[in-house]
Structures are given as structure tokens and as C-alpha cells.
Amino acid sequence: MPGFWSGRRVIVTGGAGFLGRRVVERLCAQDAAVVVPRQAKHDLTVPGVAEALLATHEPETVIHLAARVGGIGYNQVEPAPLYLANLLMGTHVIEAARHAPSVDKTVLLGTVCSYPKFTPVPFREESLWDGYPEETNAPYGLAKKAHLVHAQVNAAQYGQRFAYLIPTNLFGPGDKFHPHVSHVIPALIKKCVDALDAGDDTVDVWGTGAASREYLYVDDAAEAIVLAAESHEGTEPINLGTDHEVTIRETVETIAAIVGFAGELRWDPTKPDGQPRRRVDASRAERLLGWRATTPFDTGLRATVDWYLANREDAERLP
């Protein structure tokens, strides 16, 4: 809708993060009045902080992207704070938005980690409650799924307006490359680049390589979020994906080729693979939002590698 965002007051939690920056750029390009709260001043896990934030800025739209995230290793060593921080942030934002007279709609971001470990492929939204998530990601996935329940009961009882989106594995320029918090693609890019710089003949990779993932370029995800904030209302979850499934082995081999690492990839089957397969049915997003992902995997991967090589110090900084 032309002019929809012009002058519209929007709070984007997590707006300084990897995905949030892309969302904020899109909103600002359409003349929205965007506020990006920073954690140092606005710790959303603390009761009352979200309410004060919304009371001060009186947003019409709240887009909740703030999250504590990391790869399999981080999920294994920090499951309790991952669960609690994500649960509290979303809970407080949802309730603050419910009580704020100015807020017309709240957009929530779920996670593909919420799906059961052995969900039939492609994942359809109806399968979300058919089992327990893959163990290494379950605390994070369950915290995010609790926000969906919260949205559904608030919509039913209070008429609160929502959109709830579930993206597959995000990647792209601006991602986190510090080993403590990086996801699969940035972690593998860093390993291959480090090996090339050091002249190493091998790169060690977790798992068997047989697990698959569906990767979604960050700009495509940002487009869907802005579309949902503008035009969609409902508490049914909406998958965001590409309908393109890639094994971890293929992922590493493609990254190695782009980086120029020609050595051996040594797989460690004692390390977890994570969820066996991931690919979502994104037809609901196309039907309700008119959205389809458009960035080819190889194109996005090359852009990510190029950005990392040009910004290594910033990319590897621990957030």
C-alpha cells in the first residue's frame, strides 16, 4: 500500500542485529519513524522495561526481532539462558503491546527450531505441535513457540492483532561469525578462510554431513516481515523458506569452493548433526503475503563470503 509507512511510528526490537538492520533499512526507505531500542538501555527481560519503552515512543507497530541465539554448540552449553531470555523478552513485549493504546499490530518472529525433530518434509505449519523439537535446539524452540500460544490467546480474549512468522535458517552479509554464537554458514565460512590463511590441509566439521538445511537470505526474510507488518493479521504461523534443501556436506563443499580451500574436509560423527532434515512449505506466505524468496543460494553465499572478507574484525566481534 503506497504511503502506508510514511510517518508511521514503529519499534523494532533487535533492530541493530543481523536481521533487524535489514528490516529497519526497508522501513526507513519508506519513511517510517523507526525506533531501535538497545539492550544496554532497554533490557527486555526485565519487567516494566517494555512497557516504559512503548509508553515513551507510542508506536503504532511493534516488530519483535530481539533474541538470544547461537548455533548447536551454543545451544548445548547455554540452554537455560537461551530459554529464559527468549521467553521473557517475547512475553514482556506482547503484554506491553497489549496495554499500549497506540499499538495496532505486533509482529513476532518464531523459529524453525520449534518444529518436531522428525517433522515430515516439507514442514507444514499444521505439524508444529506433532512432537518435541530436536534436543539441541529445543529450549530455544519451545520459548519461541510459547509466544505463538501467547499471541493466540491474547487475540482470542482481547482482540490483540498479530502476525507470526517462522523463517528457516537465515544467512547473509552482517551475520555473526564469532565461534561462540555463529550458526552453520558463518561458522563454516570462518573455518575455511582460517584454514586457507594458515595454509592448513584440513578443516574439521561437526557431524556426518548428511543433515540438510534450508537457507533463507536475510534480505528476503526482511521483505516478508515488512509485508506481514503492513498487510497481514492473524495468529496462524507463516513459514518463510525457499523450497530448496541443501545437505551440510553440500553446504561445506560449496563454501570451500567459493573461499578457495581445496584441502580435506574431516567429518566428526561424534558431534551432533542437529535436526535430520529441514525444508518448509512456504505456500501460506505466498498466499497470504504475496511473498516468495528470490535470492539463489549460491548468490547469497558469495555475497556473505565477500562481506566477511571485507569486515572480518567486526564480523568476529562477540555481540
Q: Whole-prediction pTM value? A: 0.94
Residue 173 lies in a domain: yes
- Residue 15 in any domain: the answer is yes
Active-site annotation holder among 83, 115, 140, 308: 140
Asked whether residue 3 is assigned to any structural domain, the reply reads no
Looking at residue 178, its pLDDT comes to: 86
Report the number of distinct structural domains present in the chain. Answer: 1
The Cα–Cα gap between 189 and 304 comes to 9
Amino acid at 240: L
pLDDT of residue 75: 65
Over the chain, what HEC string results?
A: CCCCCCCCEEEEECCCCHHHHHHHHHHHHCCCEEECCCCCCCCCCCCCHHHHHHHHHCCCEEEECCCCCCCHHHHHHCHHHHHHHHHHHHHHHHHHHHHCCCCCEEEEECCHHHCECCCCCCECHHHCCCCCECHHHHHHHHHHHHHHHHHHHHHHHHCCCEEEEEECEEECCCCCCCCCCCCHHHHHHHHHHHHHHHCCCEEEEECCCCCEECEEEHHHHHHHHHHHHHHCCCCCEEEECCCCCEEHHHHHHHHHHHHCCCCEEEEECCCCCCCCCCCECCHHHHHHHCCCCCCCHHHHHHHHHHHHHHCHHHHCCCC
Closest CA to 123 of 247, 241, 295: 241
- Whether 140 is a known active-site residue: answer yes
pLDDT at 109: 98
Residue 122 inside a domain? The answer is yes
pLDDT in tens, 133-186: 988 889 999 999 999 999 999 999 999 999 999 999 999 999 999 887 788 899
Residue 124 falls inside a structural domain: yes
CATH of the domain at 178: 3.40.50.720
pLDDT of residue 71: 67
Give the domain extent around 150: 9-315
Assigned domain for 158 exists = yes
Query: Can you give the pLDDT at residue 76?
Result: 78
Determine, yes or no, domain membership for 1.
no
Across the beta sheet with 33-35, the strand order is 33-35, 9-13, 61-64, 105-109, 162-167, 237-240
The C-alpha cell that represents 294 in the structure block = 528470490
Strand partners, 163: 107
Burial of 267 (0-12, 13-18, 19+ CB in 10 A): middle
The pLDDT of residue 179 is 81
Classify each residue of 289-302 as buried b or exposed e, where b means 16 or more C-beta atoms within 10 Å of its C-beta: bebbbebebeebbe
* The pLDDT value given to residue 169: 93
Residues of the chain with pLDDT under 70: 1, 71-75, 319
Residue at 309 is within a domain: yes
